[in-house]
Amino acid sequence: MQQAERQPKLIHAWHLERIGQLKRPLPVRILQSVLDAVATAMEAAFFHGLRCLPKQQAFILSNFVGAAQRVGARKRSITNLQMVLGKETRTQKQWNALWREHLSHVGTTAIESIHFGTMTHEYLLKHVTLEGEEHLRSALKLGKGVMLFINHLGNVGCIPAALGPRSYDISITGNVMPRPYLEKKVNELYQHGGVKRILVGEQLPLKAARAFHRNGIFASFIDYTVVEKLNHWLPFGEAELNTNIGPAILALRNSTSILYATCRRLPGRRHCLTIHPPSSFTPTGNQLSDALVVTQTAIDFLAQELRQRPEQWWPWDCAQIRPKQKKQATLSPVEP
């Protein structure tokens, strides 16, 4: 656990403040408000400019947009990439090329997300396909709702784009964005697809139970945690990932069906959301061990696909990753 204690604090201040775990001094809040106002004006002008450009011309700026969003993140991202995938799997030249591919993906995703909010449902249905829909329909036939474990692989905007226009009752958990302007834009994207957005700290367990009760879908990210409770280090490729088992506990507590989903980018700027077949897991009645198994399955799906397209995972610079520990320490909870 000593190595875990040396991990930097990666839960951003705005998240802690949003969920009531941090109260910053008044001068700091005033300064932050001023900085937010300046950043908001710049972001609004930038996004408006991208929206006004013809799509093909806008995507020419993908590398620039990606580099702007990853300023200062290269060293930590490469370190995490090498821990998860194995440092010896690539030469230094290949790691550099992978980083450039990641910047391109990040920039392309940002530009795509701007246009997602203006696309018709017919266009979204054509360009964002849904694979494994039969698993979702079978689970919903049981009448107890579905807990859908999702992650930040691919363009996560295709999750609401794939399920909302297909008339599914879906709620997606989310972490509050660092600035109100960005939060507003994300909300607009979700509303355009007919999807409900539920922020961490907003009576999430109650709203999840309500979604299950009406036989709806409740989707939760499992690869990037912004709270300090219920976190565990779980095997993740060649490393370990600090992830939250709260969503698994909610699913087990409500006896709902559990499914896993991943996104991938297709040629021609199209996307596919894949609903994987349900696992053969049978609950034992031990809430902690059952939640760990359910969460580990979700992490395994992600790790398997990361080996094929690591450039498409967004949180390389901020996910909490460490080298694998001894077996007995693998499932030890993270101290708050």
- Tell me, what's the pLDDT at 318? 86
The continuous run of DSSP H or E covering 241 comes out as strand 239-244
Residue 220 contacts residue 173 (beta carbons within 8 Å): yes
- Residue 297 in any domain: the answer is yes
Strand 321-323, strand 239-244: pairing: antiparallel
Residue 136 forms part of a structural domain:
yes
What the block records as the tokens of 34 is 């001023």
pLDDT in tens, 182-191: 677 777 777 7
CA-to-CA distance for 316 and 79, rounded, in angstroms? 9
Is there a domain that residue 336 lies in?
no
Residue 55's pLDDT is 66
Show Cβ contacts of residue 78 under 8 Å, excluding neighbours closer than 6 positions. 95, 99
- Please, where are the H alpha helices in the chain? 2-5, 13-18, 26-52, 55-59, 62-69, 74-85, 92-116, 121-127, 133-140, 158-163, 180-193, 204-213, 246-253, 287-306
Residues in the chain, pLDDT under 50:
1-11, 14, 19, 328-336
Return the pLDDT at 249.
Answer: 95
Q: Establish if 178 belongs to a structural domain.
A: yes
pLDDT the model gives residue 273? 95
Q: Give the domain range for residue 51.
A: 2-329
For residues 284 and 291, the answer to whether their CB atoms sit within 8 Å is no
Q: What total of structural domains would you count in the chain?
A: 1
- Specify the pLDDT at position 49: 65
User: Residues 6 or more apart from 92 whose CB is under 8 A from it?
Assistant: none
Cβ proximity of 109 and 69 under 8 Å: no
Asked if 115 contacts 55 with a C-beta cutoff of 8 angstroms, the reply is yes
pLDDT in tens, 129-173: 999 999 999 999 999 999 999 999 999 888 888 998 899 999 998
- Give the pLDDT score at 224: 85
pTM of the model: 0.81
**Is 83 part of any domain?**
yes
Give domain status of residue 24, yes or no: yes
Distance CA 212, CA 210 (A): 5
Which DSSP symbol is given to 255? T
CA atoms of 186 and 261, how far apart (whole Å):
20
Torsion sign across C-alpha atoms 91, 92, 94, 95: positive
Can you give the three-state secondary structure of 86-122, one letter per residue?
CHHHCCHHHHHHHHHHHHHHHHHHHHHHHHHCCCCHH
Q: Which amino acid, 53?
A: L
Per-residue pLDDT, 255: 94
In a domain, 227, yes or no: yes
**Residue indicated by tokens 């609401």:** 160
Kindly state whether residue 289 falls inside one of the protein's structural domains.
Answer: yes
